[in-house]
């Protein structure tokens, strides 16, 4: 396809999948349970962290987690007592377990109390065309408290050449805003033009078929290549094409 044809094709697929009807079957439905900014942020970050594997299982465990947090994630993070954390020990989603979750709650408390919240970390540390430096800084701050080494695998780091799929998905939710209301657009301090596509097995496979990506591994180099090509199609809102790539891969077996 020529670039104009490709853009038209993908824009149509964005319109197909970037719809309110998409929300109930997607992990983004969990933060959509809330209206307060901090509740949305925390719910989104937590569910994005374990958003891999079976989608029904992700939604089931996302709802279970909100129940464990008493459907007030921000209040729980700020005001929990040691005894409140006991109930979190039984939580598990694949390799993300109760010990990981308890550390995440403690680290989020540190971020909101001592670093002015999640948005401030990402807003202060990006460069003019990428949020990857912010993700790297976030990783440093998130793990500044004592923690088990195994927990580090649940927060991707571009310094380790990761494509950071789940955290880029979280950032898409927080930063993007459009008339369809799937993404929240809460973080107006960050331009959607510097977001990166959440690159996974589905979006990567479709991107390669469409010649948007030549690299075989879904790593940091592949992410940079895909970002460059999507920004040529829409410099202001390149990650809207995540809807198209994901939808083509998951729902149409493209």
Predicted structure pTM score? 0.96
Total count of domains within the chain: 1
pLDDT given for residue 26 in this prediction: 94
Q: What angle do CA 14, 17, 20 make, to 5 degrees?
A: 120
Yes or no: say if 10 and 197 are a contact pair by the CB < 8 Å rule.
no
The share of the chain scoring above pLDDT 90, in percent, equals: 94
Q: Would you state the pLDDT for residue 2?
A: 80
Inter-residue contact 69 to 76 (CB < 8 Å): yes
* Pair 54, 27: CB distance under 8 Å: no
For residue 40, what are the domain limits? 3-250
| pLDDT tens string 34-80 | 999 999 999 999 999 999 888 899 999 999 999 999 999 999 999 99
Give the residue with greater pLDDT, 192 vs 3. Answer: 192
Each residue's pLDDT tens digit, 190-244: 999 999 999 999 999 999 999 999 999 999 999 999 999 999 999 999 999 999 9
């Amino acid at each position: 396809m020529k670039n104009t044809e490709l853009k038209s094709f993908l824009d149509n697929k964005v319109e197909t999948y970037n719809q309110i009807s998409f929300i109930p079957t997607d992990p983004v439905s969990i933060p959509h349970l809330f209206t307060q900014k901090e509740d949305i942020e925390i719910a989104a970050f937590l569910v994005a962290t374990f958003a891999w594997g079976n989608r029904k299982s992700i939604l089931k465990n996302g709802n279970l987690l909100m129940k464990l947090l008493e459907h007030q994630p921000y209040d729980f993070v700020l005001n929990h007592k040691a005894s409140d954390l006991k109930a979190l020990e039984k939580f598990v989603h694949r390799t993300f377990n109760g010990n990981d979750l308890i550390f995440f709650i403690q680290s989020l408390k540190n971020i909101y109390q001592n670093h002015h919240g999640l948005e401030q970390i990402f807003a202060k540390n990006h460069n003019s065309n990428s949020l990857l430096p912010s993700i790297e800084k976030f990783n440093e701050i998130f793990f500044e408290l004592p923690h088990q080494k195994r927990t580090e695998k649940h927060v991707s780091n571009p310094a380790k050449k990761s494509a950071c799929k789940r955290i880029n998905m979280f950032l898409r939710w927080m930063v993007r805003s459009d008339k369809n209301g799937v993404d929240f657009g809460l973080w107006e301090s960050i331009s959607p033009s510097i977001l990166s596509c959440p690159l996974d097995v589905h979006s990567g496979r479709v991107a390669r078929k469409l010649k948007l990506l030549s690299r075989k591994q879904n790593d940091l180099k592949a992410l940079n290549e895909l970002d460059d090509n999507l920004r040529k199609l829409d410099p202001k809102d390149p990650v809207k094409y995540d809807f198209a790539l994901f939808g083509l891969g998951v729902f149409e077996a493209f």
